[in-house]
Amino acid sequence: DVGRLKRVSETYHQLKISPKLSQSELQRFIHQPILSLNLTIEEQQWLAENPVITLGVDKNFAPYEWIDEKGNYVGIAAEYIHLLEERLGIKFNIVSDPSWEQLISLVKSGEIDMLACLNKTDDRESYLSFTPPYVTNPVVIVNTAIDNYIGSLSNLKGKTVAIEKGNFSNTLLSDVYPDIHFLYTETPKQALEKVSRGEADAYIGDAAFANYQIKHHDLLNLQFSGQTKAQSAYRMGISKHQPELFNIVNKVFQKVSEDERKDIVEQWIGIEVNNGLSTKTIIKLIASALLIATFLGYWILYLRKSRRAVMSSEKKLNDVLNTSPVPMAIVSGEDTATYINEAFTKVFGFELAEVHGLNDWLLKVLPNATKRQRFIEQIANALEQQSDSSSPPSSFEAAMLCKDGKYRTIICNAKKLDTHATAETLLIFYDISERKRAEEKLKLSGRVFNQAHEGILITDGSGMLVDVNPAFSEITGYSREQALYQNPSILKSDRHEPDFYSEMWTALRVEGHWQGEIWNRRQNGDTYAQLLTISTLDDENGETTHYLGLFSDITESKQQQQALEMMAHYDVLTQLPNRTLFADRFKQAIAHSHRNNTLLAVVFLDLDGFKPVNDQYGHDVGDQLLIEVSKRISTCVREDDTVSRLGGDEFAMLLNDISSSEHCENLINRIRHAIELPYEINGESILISASLGVTLYPEDNSDADTLLRHADQAMYKAKQSGRQRHQLFDTQEDQQYNEKQSQFKSIQDALKADELVLFYQPKLNMRTGQVIGAEALIRWQHPEQGLLMPRQFLPTIENSDLEIELGNWVINQVIKQVSIWKNQGIELEVSINISSHHILWPGFYEYLELVLSRYENTSPQLIQLEILESSVLTDIQNISSIISQCRQSLGLKISLDDFGTGYSSLTHLRHFPVDIIKIDRSFIRDIIDDSYDYTIVDGVIGLT
């Protein structure tokens, strides 16, 4: 509650516990805003390094800023300075002893960081950076009440005007009104005192300052005697030496709410001056009273005789006033409206009863106290100016709030009425809102024309230039004087054909406008690109009277566009077409092959040993080598062929009009031999070769991407064959590859779709016939081909990640099944076939361990890993290590399958950790008839 807090504050102040708080300080105390100033790191650092700011203030410039009797810095500007201290956590060192002129000099030299309250001028902008204005007021003319009303600056010709040194309006007044004599003072207060004592005829300055001084320093013989067109707009000025401070202060100002601004202004400003009745007025009143007394008897007689005539005249006058479209009101005395016409009600929305008390009505239509007081003073001054009833009415302008909530701009005339009774005033209100809007619109159009960054030109109906804006001159180089009454063809660049201009004029005649890009020539001869819009301007009859052109210089963007197109379509290093442009040329080359019924050779080239060159000589030499290689390749092909750098040391070529494979081979050999010649780069002799892959279209009848991939595959095969050679793509081999890839994908899908199944083949004791174990055998339940054997699909995935994934699936399924059997009371050893690629997978042991832990009731002794002897020999050392770990740590059994086919030595067999050996059937099949086979088998059994 602000009121309650205010009473507490006043009590504390009376007890001398704390200083008295202003209304705005109380509001900020209650509603302390949490501001997010978004200061940069540099600005925060600056604040930390500069906790105290030197501030210059005018000690005698109330109500804006001054030093009170207790030495405190107070006023509107002071409120904002205190606000900055609160929100930034800084302190201001107040410098107030020097005069205002001296303060200006100090801030110029950088000895003072900022000034809190001053107007912006062209000269001050050279050494100060200004915030937006935080308060504005009119600049008024002040003289003594015994002098005549001045009205405007032009009436001060030959007069002496007191004004403060360094005031912002000095230069303006001295330049525009050289006949005014200026009396300069150290402070504005001294200037007012000069006028009060009669040492000067008038004072020119800020209305709020003048009002404050008149009320608080017994200068009541002074009056407001006119208003200038100037406005004081007070801002903070920050030294150009402190750009960080300027940015910080501006950010705080942006966060000050409108309510806070209003509180500050309303706390310190209120222009109300009561001058009382002048001697001249009293004399007039006495004279009027005597006159009325003298003729009173005659007047009564006259009234009786003229009553009917008066009533008739009043009716006629009332009819005339009500038919007038101009709002009018008659005010009797100081505050009573006795009559308003219908136009008054129509414009303002108020009935007579609502206007009866004029001051109450003015509170509604002029809610701003300053503007309301100014309006009342202007009426009083206008009436005082009129020496008699025949004087022309005085006019002044105001913006009034109507009953519908909208503001209307009016010009008010105040005219004394000779009623021979009570003092009456006729107020006439001319609604000029539309005219003001039209004027503002015209001013806006002028600002747009003069301040637009786009060039604007206007021609008459014959095409001659009648006006251009400053941007036109800046872009074209022609001044306004040079361009006027010239034809726009002075800008013609001769880069367009006559048809271009014919189409432009056709569009203007048919559609009334044209837009496009055009190349023109500046005055200095340079050509430039511009985006131009031309529109026709027609009169009310539809006849074209003028043409309006609006254009902007797009030369730089065109150059950037060209550079981007170059970057988008060409390799930056070699300037050869890149992949994007190569793809476009590829389509054209295929179409060319169709039209001419010739072969198209698609070549993929990769340099041999380019990386060692880079490593040995550096990337700069490597880049230069690539440039030289691209040049040599380009010299070996025809102009309509395409050579492209795809990236790194890879190049691709499109060779058109190939008549045969022999013709193609000759071209390829020429390119290869050119590349193999020595290179001299930075004093180094470098040798390099290339491997090339080639496919011929339409013999290889594929799309562009596939053709390039085929050429790449052929190049890869050339690399595998020893490098420094070329290889023609084999379509049959590719078909086999594609079939393999298709089957690979099908196996992947089958695993996901649970189409793979395990069969368990029993192992029998041949003597007893007892089932002693089983072997897990995988089958593919193909949805179309039925049950497929392992040899029909497992070779496709050999040595791939899918082989590992499938092997893990088998391990999981087998151990899970053994666990299920165990729960059913069946303990059966099951063997799993494992490939060497699967065993050498880094996660093999961990996966076995994981699955065994998942099915805890499964005894590891029931799981047998079966490995082919030939698989073991691929990496016997690593496989032996992994198998030993599985056998010793996990307790699994190991079986060596197809023993005897891998040509392993008995030494290997001795050191390989196996539990079971399965001798290959080729030794078992003829053991009865072949004594040699019997001896081998017997020896192996004996060894185990």
Q: Mind giving me the DSSP string for 29-77?
A: HHT---------HHHHHHHHH--EEEEE--TEETTTEEE-TTS-EESHH
- The pLDDT tens digits for 840-879 are 999 999 999 999 999 999 999 999 999 887 777 778 888 8
pTM metric for this prediction: 0.35
Q: Please, are residues 143 and 150 in contact by the beta-carbon 8 Å criterion?
A: yes
Q: DSSP character for 678?
A: -
Q: What is the pLDDT of residue 20?
A: 65
Q: What is the pLDDT of residue 280?
A: 38
- The pLDDT tens digits for 20-68 are 666 555 555 544 443 467 888 888 899 989 989 999 999 988 899 999 9
Phi, psi (degrees; rounded to nearest 5) at 750: -65, -40
CA 146 to chain centre: 62
- What average pLDDT does range 559-577 have in this prediction? 85
Q: What is the pLDDT of residue 151?
A: 80
- What average pLDDT does range 336-361 have in this prediction? 87
Q: Please, are residues 809 and 756 in contact by the beta-carbon 8 Å criterion?
A: yes
Q: What is the pLDDT of residue 297?
A: 41
Topology of domain 452-556 in CATH is Beta-Lactamase (3.30.450)
CA 137, 138, 139 angle in degrees (round to 5)?
125
Domain 570-729 has CATH 3.30.70.270: yes
Sequence-ordered list of residues with C-beta below 8 angstroms from that of 328, at least 6 positions apart, any chain: 321, 339, 340, 341, 343, 344, 426, 427, 428, 429
Q: Please, are residues 119 and 232 in contact by the beta-carbon 8 Å criterion?
A: yes
Burial class (CB in 10 A: 0-12, 13-18, 19+), 477: middle
CA–CA dist 579, 295 (Å, integer): 111
Q: Please, are residues 143 and 222 in contact by the beta-carbon 8 Å criterion?
A: yes
- What average pLDDT does range 244-263 have in this prediction? 91
Q: Is the pLDDT reported for residue 237 higher than 90?
A: yes
CA 622, 628, 632 angle in degrees (round to 5)?
140
Q: Please, are residues 202 and 180 in contact by the beta-carbon 8 Å criterion?
A: no
Q: Which long-range CB contacts under 8 A does 463-466 form with residues at least 24 apart?
A: 463/487, 463/488, 463/547, 466/546
CA–CA dist 665, 254 (Å, integer): 76
Domain ranges of the chain: 2-130, 452-556, 570-729, 741-943
- What average pLDDT does range 214-242 have in this prediction? 86
Q: What is the pLDDT of residue 286?
A: 32
Q: Is the pLDDT reported for residue 415 higher than 90?
A: no
With a pLDDT cut of 70, the percent of the chain lying above it is 85
Q: Is the pLDDT reported for residue 617 higher than 50?
A: yes
> Which one is the CATH code of 2-130: 3.40.190.10, 2.60.120.590, 3.40.50.1000, 3.20.20.70?
3.40.190.10
Residue 814 C-beta-side C-alpha neighbours within 13 Å: 29
- The pLDDT tens digits for 648-685 are 999 999 999 999 999 999 999 999 999 999 999 999 99
Between residues 910 and 451, which one has the greater pLDDT?
451
SS3 (DSSP) at 359:
helix
Q: What is the pLDDT of residue 392?
A: 58
3-state helix, strand, coil in the chain (%, to 5): 45, 25, 30
With a pLDDT cut of 90, the percent of the chain lying above it is 52
Q: What is the pLDDT of residue 296?
A: 44
- What average pLDDT does range 240-248 have in this prediction? 94
Q: Is the pLDDT reported for residue 259 higher than 90?
A: no
- The pLDDT tens digits for 538-558 are 988 889 999 999 999 998 888
Q: Is the pLDDT reported for residue 774 higher than 80?
A: yes
Topology of domain 741-943 in CATH is TIM Barrel (3.20.20)
- What average pLDDT does range 779-805 have in this prediction? 93
Phi, psi (degrees; rounded to nearest 5) at 477: 90, -10
Band of pLDDT at residue 623, cut at 50, 70 and 90: very high
Q: Is the pLDDT reported for residue 828 higher than 90?
A: yes
- The pLDDT tens digits for 433-492 are 888 888 888 888 888 888 888 999 999 989 999 999 999 999 999 999 999 999 999 999
Average pLDDT score over the chain: 85
Q: Is the pLDDT reported for residue 507 higher than 60?
A: yes
- What average pLDDT does range 381-408 have in this prediction? 78
Domain 452-556 matches domain 570-729 at the CATH topology level: no
- The pLDDT tens digits for 513-538 are 999 999 999 999 999 999 999 999 99
- What average pLDDT does range 87-91 have in this prediction? 90
Q: Please, are residues 239 and 112 in contact by the beta-carbon 8 Å criterion?
A: yes
Q: What is the pLDDT of residue 19?
A: 63
Q: Please, are residues 807 and 842 in contact by the beta-carbon 8 Å criterion?
A: no
Q: Which of 743, 826, 732 is nearest to 782 (CA)?
A: 743
